[in-house]
Structure 1
Amino acid sequence: MDNPFSLENKTILVTGASSGIGRQIAISTAGMGASLYISGRNTERLNETLQLLPRAGHTHNTADLTNESELDVLVDASPNLDGLVLSSGIVQTLPFKFASHLALDNMMQANFYAPVLLLNKLLRKKKLNKGCSVVFISSIAGNFTGTKGNSMYSASKGAINAMQKVIAVELAAQKIRVNNVSPAMVKTGMLDNATVFSTEQIEQDEKNYPLGYGEPLDVANGVIYLLSDASKWVTGISLILDGGFTIQ
C-alpha cells in the first residue's frame, strides 16, 4: 500500500533550518524522502543541519530573510518547489507599555514581512510547482491565546494567520495549498537558554499542559502531514499543536 505521508520525489525549501524547530523539520522531511533546500542566518549551524540530513544531494543557502538582497539571492538559487516551510522568526518578551516603533518593526520584519515576501517572490519567479504545499510556522499566540509580554509576537503571528487564509483562496486554482501549524510551548534550545523566566517558572508553566510541553519532532510531524499528499484536501487551516493547552 502506498504511503500517503511519503515525501519521496518532492523538493522542499525549509527556512530557519539552522536550529530548533526548523532544524528538526529539515531532518524529518529529509527522512521521509524529500530533497531539501535549507536556509538560515548562521552558516556554521546551517552546515551542521546539512550534515544531519539523511541521504546526500541536499543544498543550502545562508540568508538573512529581512535583507531583501539576500532574499532575492535565495529565491533566484531556489529549485522549483513541491513544498515550502516558512520557519524562520524571532521571539521577544516585552510588556506592551515598553513597546516601540523600532521593536514592532523588528518583530514584523522577521516574523511577517520576511516569510510573506519570500512566498511572494517565489510565486513571481514561478518557483512553486502545481500541487505545492506551503506551511507557515505560526503559534497559538497568533489567534488562540494571550500571554503577558507577548503582544508584539502575537501580532506578528496573527498577521501571518490572517494573510495565509486569503493566499490559500487565491492559490487554490493552482492546487497550491497554504496552511500553518500553530504550536504552543516547545522544548528547544531557546527555552533552555531563556533568561526572562526561571527554571521553576518554566516547570510550573508546563503543568498547565495536559500532555506537557512539546518536542520539535511533534511540530515536524504535523508539518510532514501538511506537506504530504495525505493533506491534499486541506488548505487555509491552523493545525493546533499544543498538548491540550487550549481545550481547558
Structure 2
Amino acid sequence: MFEGKTLLITGATSGIGFATTRRLLAEGARVVAVGRNPQRLAELVQHGGDAVLPLAFDLTDFARYREVLAPVPALDGLVHSAGIVENNPLRFFSLETHQRIVAINQTAPLALVAELARGNKLNAGSAIVLLSSILGPEVGIKGTASYAGTKAALTAFARVMALELAHKDIRVNCVAPGMVQTELVDDLHQLSEEALQADRARYPLGKRYATAHEVAAAIRFLLSSDAAFMTGQTLVVDGGFTAQ
C-alpha cells in the first residue's frame, strides 16, 4: 500500500507516533521520523534501515522550520502525532503552561503544514492526518481547558486546510481517540490502579483503553487510498465512549 511513499511523522519516538511509524515502515513506506528521543530514533533506524530519515527537532523552535525542513524530500503524507498533556485548572491557571501546550499541540501543526505547503513539499494526492482527541471536540474534563482547546482546534484546522489544499488533491483529516494505553497512561502515578480500572470500565467496547496500534490503524486508513474521498473529517476511535 505504501511502497514508494514518503511520509513525515511527528512524535515518532513515543506512543501513537511510534506505533504508526513502525506500521508504515512494515508496509513499505519511507518515513521522516521527527522526535526528541535519540534512543527511540536510533531504534527506528535500526528497525527500518535506510527507510528511516531521523530528524531530531523541537517543533516549538518555529524560527528554524524553513532551515530544518529544506532537506526533507517531497512528501506523500504527514502525521502530526506530537503533543503534550498537562492539567491547567482555572483556579491555578498558568499562562506559561497554557502557552507551552498551545505551542506544541496547536501552533506546531499549523506552522508545519503551512511551511510544507509554501515549500511545495506536499505531493499532489498526499494526505495529512492530525491527531486530535475526543477531549475537546466531544467531551470535557475538569482542569483540561488548555489541552482540550488545542484538540478542538485541530478539528477546525482540518476542515479549513482541507478546503485550502483540495485544489492539489491533498486530503486533511483528524483521528480523535479516547484514552490510549501508552507510556503516558503508564506514568500516571497520581491515579491508583483502582481509579484507572474504573475509568477503563467506562469504555463500552471491552472495558479498556485503545492500544496505540489500534489508533495507528485508523491513521493508516486515512493516509491510504481507501480514504481517497474523505477530507475535512474527524474519525473517532473511542470504543463507544461518546456513543453513550
Question: What is the TM-score when the length of structure 2 is the normalising length?
Answer: 0.95
Q: Which amino acid aligns with 1:144?
A: E
Q: Which residue of 2 aligns with 1:34?
A: 29
Question: CA–CA distance in 1 between the matches of 2:6 and 2:210?
Answer: 27
* 1:172-195, Cα deviation, whole Å (9 max, x unpaired): 111000001000000001110113
Q: Which residue of 2 aligns with 1:183?
A: 177
Report the Cα offset of residue 94 of structure 1. 2.9
Q: Which residue of 2 aligns with 1:135?
A: 129
User: Structure 1 residues 177 and 225, CA, compared in 2 at 3 Å: closer, same or farther?
Assistant: same
* 1:201-230, Cα deviation, whole Å (9 max, x unpaired): 111100000122100000100011001101
Question: Does structure 1 residue 230 correspond to structure 2 residue 222?
Answer: no
Question: What is the TM-score when the length of structure 1 is the normalising length?
Answer: 0.94
Question: CA–CA distance in 2 between the matches of 1:46 and 1:142?
Answer: 30
Report the Cα offset of residue 160 of structure 1. 1.4
Secondary structure, aligned partner of 1:145: coil
Report the Cα offset of residue 71 of structure 1. 2.9
Percentage identity across paired residues of the two chains: 39
Residue pairs, 1:1-248, within 5 angstroms:
6-53=1-48, 56-211=50-205, 212-248=208-244
64-73 vs 235-244, which deviates more? 64-73
Question: CA–CA distance in 1 between the matches of 2:189 and 2:145?
Answer: 18
Q: Which residue of 2 aligns with 1:3?
A: none
Q: CA RMSD in A?
A: 1.3
Question: CA–CA distance in 2 between the matches of 1:105 and 1:16?
Answer: 19
Question: CA–CA distance in 2 between the matches of 1:217 and 1:57?
Answer: 20
Q: Indicate conservation of the 8 Å contact 1:112/1:156, yes or no.
A: yes
Question: CA–CA distance in 2 between the matches of 1:179 and 1:218?
Answer: 17
Report the Cα offset of residue 49 of structure 1. 2.6
Secondary structure, aligned partner of 1:140: coil
Q: Indicate conservation of the 8 Å contact 1:64/1:70, yes or no.
A: no
Secondary structure, aligned partner of 1:77: coil
Q: What count of residue pairs does the alignment treat as equivalent?
A: 242
Unaligned runs of 5+ in 1: 1-5
Question: CA–CA distance in 2 between the matches of 1:23 and 1:167?
Answer: 25
Report the Cα offset of residue 70 of structure 1. 4.1
* 1:97-125, Cα deviation, whole Å (9 max, x unpaired): 21222121111001000111011101110
Unaligned runs of 5+ in 2: none
Secondary structure, aligned partner of 1:141: coil
